C-alpha cells in the first residue's frame, strides 16, 4: 500500500471516513515526512506540529462520538504564507511582517478547517508573492524536490514543493501572473487558477480587482476538485463572487475529452519557448487526440494582454504596498510600486480597452473551441541561485516578469486555467501543460485535466528524496 504521506487526499479522506486510519495516524505520518525532507527542500517555513496533533485528536474524538466527518476530515494541509491564519505566524515573505500573527482566518482557511482539514503549517513564498521564484529575506529559497539545485517556481513554490515531496496532501495557492500554475509545472503537481469569483476574496481596498485569485494545489486533479468543493462557493464579501455552490465540484470528473474541440497553441502567438519545454508540451496534443478530442493547432495572438496586465499589476502594487516603508521592501516589490506610481488615468483607460477587447475576442474564440492548450511556463526549472530567467531560447528577457508571459497573458482572460503534469525534460525536470477554458467553465478544465492525467501517469512519478 502507498505510504500515508503519498496517498492522495481523496484516498486519505476515504480511509478516514471509513475508520480504517485515524486522523492522528495521518498527521503523525506527514509530520515525520516533514521532519525527514523539509530541511533539504525548505517548503514549510512555519510548522504547527502540536496544533496539528491537537486538531487531529479532536477530530478522532468527535468521529468516535458519531459526528459526521467533513469532506476534508483529517486531511493534512498547509497554507501559503500569504494566506491569513488566525493564531499562526504569517509573514507574507516580508521582513516588515516577520512576527505578524493574524487574528482571523482567510476564507480558504476557514472553509478548509470547517471541512475537517488539519493544518500542519505555512508554505514559503517570495515577498508578497512577487515573482515566480520562491525566495525571501526571512526564510531563503525553496528548492525543487526533483532537483535540489533548481527553483520550485513561485510564488506558491513552497506549496508545490511540499506536495511533491509528500509533506502535505493538499495546499492552497494564489495566482495573479502564474503564481499557482508555474510552481505546479515546475514541481510535477496540479494547480487550478479558478475563474475569478469562484473562490471569493475579501479585500478591503481592491474588492473589484480580478487578476489575483486563490485556488487549490494537489498531486491529482481529483484532489484539486475535492478542495474546490470546499473552498469555492458564494460569499458576500466579493462583489463578483460566483453564485454556484462548491458542491458542484464534488461530482465525478467523467466523461473525459472525447468529442471536445481543443485548440493547441505552442507559443501563444510568438513567445519564445525553451526547446525541451516545447517538446514535452507538444506531446500533450497526441494524448488528447488519442482520447477522442478534436485537436487543432491555432494561430493565437494574446500580445495585447501584455500592456493590460502590466498596467493593472503596477496599479495594484502601488495601491496595496505603496504606503509601506520603501527601505523595508525588497527590490522586486519596490520596482512594482514605483511602476504603479507612474500609472496615469490614460494608462488605466487603455488597459481596460485592451482587456475588454481581448475578452470579447476570446469569447468568440471559445464558441469554436472547448479548451485552449498551451505551455504553462516558457522554461523548465532554472538554477535556484538565479534570481529570475534572463534568456528564453536565445531571446533576452528585459526584466524579472517577462519570462512569465505564457502564464500572465492567460490571467488577463478572466478564464480558468490548470497546470497538469505533462512529462519531463531529458534532464529529468518536470514540465506542465496549461489547459484554459471559457470563463466559468472550470468543470470542463478539470475534466480534461483528469483524463490527461489518467492517460499519462506523469503526476505519479515521485522525486528521489528522503527515501521517497
- Helices then strands, counting H and E runs in the chain, come out as 13, 17
CB 40 within 8 A of CB 465: yes
Alpha helix (H) residue ranges in 215-330: 221-231, 275-290, 304-321
Is residue 174 among the annotated active site residues?
no
CB 175 within 8 A of CB 411: yes
| Residue 140: its H or E element | strand 140-141
Q: From 125, 447, 102, 426, select the one nearest 276 (Cα to Cα).
A: 426
Is residue 179 among the annotated active site residues?
yes
CB 265 within 8 A of CB 303: no
CB 106 within 8 A of CB 199: no
Q: Which three cell numbers stand for residue 464?
A: 528521489
Q: Integer distance in angstroms from the first to the last C-alpha of the chain?
A: 14
Could you give the CA distance from residue 6 to residue 14 in angstroms, rounded to a whole number? 14
Q: What are phi and psi of 151, to 5 degrees?
A: -75, 150
Could you give the CA distance from residue 207 to residue 214 in angstroms, rounded to a whole number? 14
Instruction: State the catalytic residue, choosing from 8, 22, 179, 238.
Output: 179
CB 397 within 8 A of CB 390: yes
Please report, for residues 212, 357, 399, the alpha-carbon distance to residue 415 in angstroms, rounded to integers and kept in the order given.
12, 15, 26
Residue that the C-alpha cell 482572460 belongs to: 413
Q: Which three cell numbers stand for residue 435?
A: 489547459
Q: What are phi and psi of 72, to 5 degrees?
A: -110, 25
Peptide bond into 155 cis (omega under 30): yes
Could you give the CA distance from residue 180 to residue 173 in angstroms, rounded to a whole number? 5
Is residue 155 among the annotated active site residues?
yes
Residue that the C-alpha cell 471516513 belongs to: 17
Could you give the CA distance from residue 378 to residue 168 in angstroms, rounded to a whole number? 28
Instruction: State the catalytic residue, choosing from 80, 151, 174, 232.
Output: 80
Q: From 7, 158, 124, select the one nearest 74 (Cα to Cα).
A: 7
User: Where are any strands of DSSP class E within 30-129?
Assistant: 44-47, 76-80, 118-123
Cite the active site residues.
80, 155, 179
Amino acid at each position: 500500500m502507498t505510504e500515508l504521506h503519498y496517498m492522495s487526499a481523496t484516498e486519505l479522506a476515504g480511509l478516514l471516513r471509513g475508520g480504517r486510519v485515524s486522523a492522528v495516524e495521518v498527521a503523525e505520518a506527514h509530520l515525520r515526512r516533514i521532519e525527514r525532507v523539509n530541511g533539504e527542500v525548505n517548503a514549510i517555513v512555519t510548522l504547527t506540529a502540536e496544533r496539528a496533533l491537537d486538531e487531529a485528536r479532536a477530530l478522532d474524538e468527535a468521529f468516535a462520538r458519531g459526528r459526521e466527518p467533513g469532506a476534508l476530515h483529517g486531511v493534512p494541509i498547509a497554507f501559503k504564507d500569504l494566506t491569513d491564519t488566525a493564531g499562526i505566524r504569517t509573514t507574507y515573505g516580508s521582513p516588515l511582517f516577520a512576527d505578524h500573527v493574524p487574528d482571523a482566518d482567510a476564507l480558504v482557511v476557514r472553509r478548509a478547517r470547517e471541512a475537517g482539514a488539519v493544518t500542519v503549517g505555512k508554505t514559503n513564498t517570495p515577498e508578497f508573492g512577487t515573482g515566480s521564484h520562491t525566495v525571501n529575506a526571512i526564510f531563503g529559497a525553496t528548492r525543487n524536490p526533483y532537483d535540489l539545485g533548481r527553483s520550485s517556481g513561485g510564488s506558491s513554490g513552497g506549496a508545490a514543493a511540499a506536495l511533491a515531496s509528500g509533506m502535505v496532501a493538499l495546499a492552497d495557492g494564489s495566482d495573479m501572473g502564474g503564481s499557482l500554475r508555474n510552481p505546479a509545472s515546475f514541481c510535477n503537481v496540479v494547480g487550478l487558477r479558478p475563474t475569478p469569483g469562484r473562490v471569493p476574496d475579501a479585500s478591503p481596498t481592491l474588492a473589484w480587482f480580478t487578476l489575483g485569485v486563490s485556488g487549490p494545489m494537489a498531486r491529482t486533479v481529483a484532489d484539486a476538485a475535492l478542495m474546490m468543493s470546499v473552498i469555492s462557493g458564494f460569499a458576500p464579501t466579493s462583489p463578483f463572487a460566483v453564485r454556484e455552490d462548491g458542491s458542484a465540484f464534488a461530482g465525478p470528473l467523467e466523461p473525459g475529452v472525447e468529442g471536445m474541440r481543443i485548440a493547441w497553441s505552442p507559443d501563444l502567438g510568438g513567445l519564445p519557448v525553451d526547446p525541451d519545454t516545447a517538446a514535452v508540451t507538444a506531446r500533450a496534443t497526441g494524448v488528447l487526440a488519442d482520447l477522442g478530442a478534436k485537436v487543432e493547432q491555432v494561430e493565437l495572438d494574446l500580445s495585447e494582454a501584455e500592456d493590460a496586465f502590466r498596467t493593472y499589476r503596477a496599479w495594484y502594487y502601488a495601491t496595496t504596498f505603496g504606503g509601506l516603508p520603501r527601505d523595508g521592501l525588497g527590490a522586486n516589490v519596490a520596482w512594482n510600486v514605483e511602476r504603479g506610481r507612474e500609472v496615469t488615468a490614460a494608462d488605466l483607460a487603455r488597459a481596460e480597452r485592451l482587456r475588454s477587447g481581448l475578452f470579447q475576442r476570446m469569447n468568440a474564440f471559445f464558441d469554436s473551441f472547448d479548451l485552449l492548450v498551451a505551455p504553462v511556463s516558457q522554461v523548465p526549472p532554472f538554477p535556484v541561485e538565479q534570481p529570475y530567467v534572463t534568456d528564453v531560447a536565445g531571446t533576452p528577457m528585459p526584466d524579472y516578469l517577462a519570462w512569465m508571459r505564457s502564464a500572465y497573458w492567460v490571467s488577463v482572460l478572466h478564464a480558468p486555467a490548470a497546470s497538469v503534469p505533462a512529462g519531463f525534460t531529458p534532464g529529468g525536470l518536470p514540465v506542465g501543460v496549461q489547459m484554459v477554458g471559457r470563463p466559468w467553465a472550470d468543470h470542463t478544465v478539470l475534466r480534461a485535466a483528469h483524463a490527461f492525467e489518467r492517460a499519462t501517469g506523469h503526476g505519479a512519478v515521485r522525486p528521489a528524496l528522503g527515501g521517497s
